[in-house]
Amino acid sequence: MQMPTEGRDWNEVREEMVARSGKDVDWRSGRTAVYVFNAGEDIHHVQKEAYALFMAENGLGPLAFPSLAQMEKDVIAMALGLLHGPQGATGAITSGGTDSITMAMKTARDFARESGRQQTGHNIVLPRSAHLAFDKAAHLMDIAVRRVPLKTDGSFEADPAAMAAAVDEATIMMVGSAPNFPHGIIDPIAALGEVAAEKKVWLHVDACVGGYFAPFARMNGVAVPAFDFAVPAVHSMSADLHKYGYCAKGASTVLFRSEDLYKHMPFNYRDWSGAPMKTPTLAGTRPGGAISAAWAVMNVLGVSGYREKQGLVCATREKIEAGVKALGFEVLGRPLLGLMAFRHPEADTLALYGAMRARGWFTSFTAEPQSLHLMLSPKHAEVADDYLRDLAAALADVRAGVTSEKVEARYS
């Protein structure tokens, strides 16, 4: 496309945009279980209006926009209230989980340097199942990544003893997930905490996809093990507002046990021609809308709203678990929240995946071991029966030797 010489009519441009979205996955119908968290029309409306209210404003300027500064403080306080943040705990809103993880690693590295630990040649120790955002951040910062195999007991949990063996003087961070993305399993954070305390290493809990889910699941009676700042060795956490916080995209939280840890995060610089600038996260300009939409959704839902939505997601996951087991699938480990992975002993996963895609289901899959993957939203309560019916048909196709290509050709 070349820029039009004369500007075009907005209504015409808008229509073209809507037409283009016609080729996208139809997430509104609930047949997408990755990328989008569909909490319903009412929450979508709140996101939109609250975003638009502060869309022009910039979180880079807390003095100019005390409104945004206070909303950010409120969001962080609400987060810490849910995640057992002790007195003095603090944090910041970032653009997403990758940003939160990157900033937590940078903070841990600078903390290690200031604490007189080794100055260079650092490494982080993380389970095989931890998110690749850690590798990306490590790549940026020239930090080595030591990925440690999971327990071999079928739990798909991090192995604290094996991780302990991988830690050395140059380790600036250990990681546990709550839950991990590939299997939806919460790592044994308390046991990782014991290792971290003994080795005197920073423990980060990646609760990007569970931070705004697990506290409410627990309130609903799910036996969620200790995973947050209730574990004393946990130094920092990442928790995404734009996942199960049901906030507009571009919003996550990075949280620290104390101001003393947090203070290594902001970048405070004055040695250039411009005005001195202090930025807490990776971003310079920070979209006001992402902050205001997060604040609004949290206030509109409240504890009762989140409990209801997460209860619906858990009930849907239980229903799908039972349904896929009845079809002969094996569910990996014991998922407690909104993610699950499952595989069939007699059917190729990618063939099944193709057969489900052909039936209009856009989901993710897990590579180790190859399995189908679902990240469920409240909306999925309405389509769980359809999913299971289509999965049964897809399984029959695959068992009859209809390959994913053939299935794709037949249904597209």
Binding region for ligand PLP (CB under 6 A): 96-98, 131, 133, 177, 181, 206, 208-209, 240, 252
Query: Which of 236, 5, 214, 8 is CA-nearest to residue 104?
Result: 236
**Of residues 339 and 351, the one with the C-beta less far from ligand PLP:** 339
277: which strand partners?
269
CB of 88 to ligand PLP, least distance (A): 26
Shortest gap between Cβ of 181 and ligand PLP (angstroms)? Answer: 4
Report the residue number, 341 or 355, with the smaller CB distance to ligand PLP: 341
- Residues 77 and 92: beta-carbon distance below 8 Å: no
Token duo for residue 80: 């810490």
Range 343-352, long-range pairs (CB < 8 A, 24+ positions): 343/369, 343/370, 343/371, 343/372, 344/395, 346/399, 347/395, 347/398, 347/399, 348/398, 350/404, 351/398, 351/403, 351/404, 351/407, 352/391, 352/394, 352/395, 352/398, 352/404
Residue 98 Cβ, how far from ligand PLP at the closest point, in Å? 3
Task: Give the torsion sign (CA, 253, 255, 260, 264).
Answer: negative
Question: What's the closest the beta carbon of residue 358 comes to ligand PLP, in angstroms?
Answer: 27
Least distance (Å) between residue 307 CB and ligand PLP: 21
Cβ within 8 Å of residue 278, ≥6 positions away? 266, 267, 268, 269
Pairing of strands 90-94, 252-256: antiparallel
The total of other beta-carbon atoms located within 10 Å of residue 198's CB is 11
In the complex, the smallest distance separating the C-beta of residue 136 from ligand PLP, rounded to whole angstroms, is 9
User: Which CB sits closer to ligand PLP, 72 or 240?
Assistant: 240
Closer residue to ligand PLP, CB minimum distance, 159 or 206: 206
38-54: string of b/e by CB count within 10 Å (b at 16+)? Answer: bbeeebeebbeebbeeb
Ranked by CB distance to ligand PLP, the top (closest) residue is 97
When the beta carbons of 96 and 280 are compared against ligand PLP, the nearer one is 96
Cβ closer to ligand PLP: 244 or 353?
A: 244
Minimum CB distance to ligand PLP, residue 207 (Å): 8
- 72 or 390: whose CB is closer to ligand PLP? 72
Within 10 A of 382 (CB to CB), how many other CB atoms are there?
13
Give the residue with the Cβ less far from ligand PLP, 33 or 209: 209
CB of 182 to ligand PLP, least distance (A): 9
Two tokens, residue 152: 């071999």
